[in-house]
Structure 1
Amino acid sequence: MSGALAMTAIVVVSVNLRPGATSVGPALEEIQHGLGMSATLAGVMTALPGLCFGVVGALAVRLAQRLGLTGGIALGLLAIIGGLVLRVLTGSVWVFLLLTLVALAGMAVGNVLVPAWIKRHATDGGERLMTIYSMGLTLGGAVGSLFVAPLIDHAPDGWRSALGVWALTALVAVVPWAVISRRERKDPADHRMPRVAHVGRMTSSRTAVALCVYFGVQAMNAYVQFGWLPQIYRDAGLSVGEAGSLLAMLTGLGVVGGLLMPMLIARSSNMSWAVLLLGVCMVLGYLGLWLAPASTPWLWAALLGIAGWTFPGAIAMITARTRDPQVTGQVSGFVQPVGYVLAAVGPLLVGVIHELTGGWSAVVILLALSGVVMTGAGLLVAKRTYIDDELHTA
């Protein structure tokens, strides 16, 4: 396979694994009004990405064992397209949520399988393709939230068009993966995910468990921000356009992190300084959001955006802390599903706490404390160790 085709495939899949989720937050109020959705169900909807990424992600490795890594990723893209198109055509809350699950399931498959695909096909250990992948994820998330307000204001169907348009970009993404899949069928080599020999329970690796917590806490914060941060800003007096732009800036800063973090992790033997710096940014960002959300909203969004560099960092560590592509797949299938299940709890609790307290203070303080937990877990994976070795000695 040519390097250009592999790079194109990673670019198009990565930018389509987030817009279907991040476009919901800025349009949450319009979705509630349009479908007659209660605040509790809105909280459930914001929890769906983490929950679905966790549950479906846990099954992704088995899917790849049957269809192959490429086939599994292509099937995930088809699920994204179907879910995003059909959910904007319904007037039923429950059908909307069910089809949202279908789209999120496709994203979950890509989340788990793409790092393993990169590890298998990369010639440099995965640094270049993981950098592209991380940047694509964050860019897709930023674009997904940035264009919601303009589409709501100017598109014929308002919020429905703002959510459904991302099916078109996913349709484009299917093309290179279909080409790769066709070429692999002609190749006698077996491109399925091998059934990994027993190398020890994943929980016996301290690094894998710490990476799971690190990934889970940052994912929880990310999906709380995707789902609720625009509403926090709107309740502080900002417009829907301003709130969406701030979320886009927050997620857009992740593009810089997606460029820097994989490179730093691949070339540094100790990332403790970066883990501490990002943790401090998260805590300060939430404290500012608590004390003065509308005075300098861009500053708090910027701090939280920089703290969000933990996401490309955690993703890059899946490949950087493993040697064998099979172990990479195992670690990805452990860290991401468990981490996203942890992440699913956050948005749901935010909805419940906000409804009980009628404000955002308790929510924001708890999120600041979660930054301390994330930093502690990150310090355990900051030094260069290999999960392969810990599993073999367990």
Structure 2
Amino acid sequence: MSTRPAPPAPGPAPAATARAAAVGGLLAIVAVLLVAVNLRPGATSVGPLMEQVVGAYGQGAAAAGLLTALPCLTFGVLGIAAVPISRRLGLTGTVLASFVLVGIGLLLRPTVDSFALFLGLSVLALLGPALGNVLVPAWIKLHGGRRVVALMTLYSVVLAVGGTLGAGLAVPLTGGEADGWRVSLQTWGMLAAIPVVVWALVLRRTGHDFPPAPPEGALRGSLLRSRTAIALAIMFGLQATNAYTQFGMLPQILTESGVSPARAGLTVALISAWGIVAGLVMPTVIARAPGLPWIVGAFGVLTAAGYLGLWLLPGVSPLVWACVLGVGGFAFPTAIALIPARSRSALVTARLSGMVQPLGYILAAVGPLLAGALLDLTASVPVVLGFLALTGLGLAVAGFRAALPRMVDDEIVPPAPARAVG
């Protein structure tokens, strides 16, 4: 039986330290903060306004289901292009260019009179998140130096803040006007201009910053060879199914139960707000806590419990079940943090992020479409809640496997041929 020497403990390479110094600690913090806070409002701000939006274009439930699934579809399909695009523009250049288009899409989509144009501009507005979802973790891995865990914590926390603000402020920003949804959605386009300015400054320091290819023969193999990568993709897809179904359909479910639109939006925002806590604690938990697979699996169980509570115990305040679902939503920052935590090199991190998030989001898009179809066919909220509870149990299984202490770098390398002992 042959043995291999244990790999050295990972640490920042001299080149990585030089890149981190080139960006600078304060600029890196500001850049990550501003991009993270702008990655979600373009998607989460639509759900609480769904009735007004589809009504303004003379559309119905099918259009609402499509809008609910659109972020996942966009993140999945366009996310596949993130790594190839960044090979030409660099990580920083790709994020910068995409946010120029985001600002244009967010500013223009509420002004058009055609639902088809609204959908098209929504895709443009979601381009930045689609690419940023994949590339920002790799950017942090490349430029973070000794601050990788801190920057991933900041990224996860502020990502949740942005999602919370998008859902919670959607109705108040309308000002109570019948056409106020247009102003509400347009607000996020004005804010998207800020990261463009900051990332232009970052680009001046980084230049073309895609991680170099490894030496010939290193890191060969498909990510599909890695059970950890596959489990991460399934985990990511199931948590995104729940998150975007909550953003898009839970307000409708709550309003049909007699909750006001503003309070329904705040309830969904409460679910998102728990992500702030998750973003603060989960990177450290992943790095240090024993029994991590059981912790991550519990998030899926709590997600299922939250839906079952809304179904079987409707007399309990929805805010209680929102908190249960919010803690179950810890699965999202956990999945994000597991991408760099289960990979060693920046290249594998980029490849893993480029697989997990696009495939996960494509899988996630099926959830809102199925939930909408079930609601149309059965007119039964309990059926939808039961379906979502099953996805929570699937999340528990996938999360347990993804959290096991395995490195994707090791799993994708074919085993060395056995040497004959003479």
Matching residue of 1:177: 199
Matching residue of 2:377: 356
Say which SS state the counterpart of residue 126 (structure 1) adopts. Answer: helix
Structure 1 residues 359 and 156 mapped into 2: Cα distance closer, same or farther (>3 Å)? closer
Segment of structure 1 superposing worse, 153-162 or 199-208? 153-162
The alpha-carbon deviation at position 237 of structure 1 amounts to 0.5
- How many Å separate the matches in 2 of 1:202 and 1:256? 31
- How many Å separate the matches in 1 of 2:291 and 2:402? 9
Asked whether 1:25 is paired with 2:47, we answer: yes
Asked whether 1:191 is paired with 2:191, we answer: no
Say which SS state the counterpart of residue 171 (structure 2) adopts. Answer: helix
Asked whether 1:67 is paired with 2:89, we answer: yes
- How many Å separate the matches in 2 of 1:316 and 1:229? 26
- How many Å separate the matches in 2 of 1:374 and 1:158? 37
Matching residue of 2:136: 114
Asked whether 1:278 is paired with 2:263, we answer: no
Any residues of structure 2 matched to 1:325-344 within 5 Å, and which? Answer: 325-344=346-365
**Which residue type is aligned with residue 347 of structure 1?**
P
Say which SS state the counterpart of residue 207 (structure 1) adopts. Answer: helix
The alpha-carbon deviation at position 279 of structure 1 amounts to 2.1
Asked whether 1:366 is paired with 2:378, we answer: no
- How many Å separate the matches in 2 of 1:164 and 1:277? 38
The alpha-carbon deviation at position 157 of structure 1 amounts to 4.1
The alpha-carbon deviation at position 282 of structure 1 amounts to 0.8
2:211·2:346 contact (CA, 8 Å) conserved in 1?
Answer: no
The alpha-carbon deviation at position 192 of structure 1 amounts to 2.7
Matching residue of 1:135: 157
Segment of structure 1 superposing worse, 81-90 or 125-134? 125-134
The alpha-carbon deviation at position 294 of structure 1 amounts to 5.9
Which one has the largest radius of gyration?
2
- How many Å separate the matches in 1 of 2:114 and 2:35? 29
The alpha-carbon deviation at position 43 of structure 1 amounts to 0.5
1:155·1:161 contact (CA, 8 Å) conserved in 2?
Answer: no
**Which residue type is aligned with residue 160 of structure 2?**
T
Asked whether 1:225 is paired with 2:246, we answer: yes
The alpha-carbon deviation at position 288 of structure 1 amounts to 1.0
- How many Å separate the matches in 2 of 1:240 and 1:335? 34
Matching residue of 2:13: none
Say which SS state the counterpart of residue 124 (structure 1) adopts. Answer: helix
**Which residue type is aligned with residue 382 of structure 1?**
A
- 1:314-371 CA deviation, whole Å, 9 max, x = no partner? 0000000000000000000000000000011111111111111112111110110111
Matching residue of 1:124: 146
- 1:37-73 CA deviation, whole Å, 9 max, x = no partner? 2211111111010011000001000010000000001
2:142·2:211 contact (CA, 8 Å) conserved in 1?
Answer: no
2:174·2:180 contact (CA, 8 Å) conserved in 1?
Answer: yes
Segment of structure 1 superposing worse, 248-257 or 36-45? 36-45
Say which SS state the counterpart of residue 344 (structure 2) adopts. Answer: coil
The alpha-carbon deviation at position 273 of structure 1 amounts to 2.7
- How many Å separate the matches in 2 of 1:274 and 1:198? 30
The alpha-carbon deviation at position 125 of structure 1 amounts to 6.4
The alpha-carbon deviation at position 381 of structure 1 amounts to 1.9
Structure 1 residues 63 and 155 mapped into 2: Cα distance closer, same or farther (>3 Å)? farther
- How many Å separate the matches in 1 of 2:224 and 2:344? 18
- How many Å separate the matches in 2 of 1:58 and 1:341? 10
- How many Å separate the matches in 2 of 1:119 and 1:263? 16
Q: Which runs of 5+ in 1 are unaligned?
A: none
Any residues of structure 2 matched to 1:1-394 within 5 Å, and which? Answer: 1-124=23-146, 126-154=148-176, 157-185=179-207, 190-195=208-213, 199-268=220-289, 270-293=291-314, 295-393=316-414
Say which SS state the counterpart of residue 237 (structure 1) adopts. Answer: coil
Segment of structure 1 superposing worse, 313-322 or 192-201? 192-201
- How many Å separate the matches in 2 of 1:55 and 1:279? 25
- How many Å separate the matches in 2 of 1:177 and 1:267? 32
- How many Å separate the matches in 1 of 2:69 and 2:157? 24
Matching residue of 2:20: none
- How many Å separate the matches in 2 of 1:351 and 1:248? 21
1:290·1:361 contact (CA, 8 Å) conserved in 2?
Answer: yes
TM normalised by structure 2 equals 0.90
Say which SS state the counterpart of residue 81 (structure 2) adopts. Answer: helix
Q: Which runs of 5+ in 2 are unaligned?
A: 1-22, 416-422
- How many Å separate the matches in 2 of 1:294 and 1:140? 31
Runs of 4+ in 1 over 6 A off after TM superposition: none
- How many Å separate the matches in 2 of 1:43 and 1:290? 21
- Report percent identity of matched pairs: 46
- How many Å separate the matches in 2 of 1:277 and 1:50? 24
Structure 1 residues 13 and 35 mapped into 2: Cα distance closer, same or farther (>3 Å)? same
**Which residue type is aligned with residue 321 of structure 1?**
R
**Which residue type is aligned with residue 210 of structure 2?**
R
- Equivalent pairs counted in the alignment come to 390
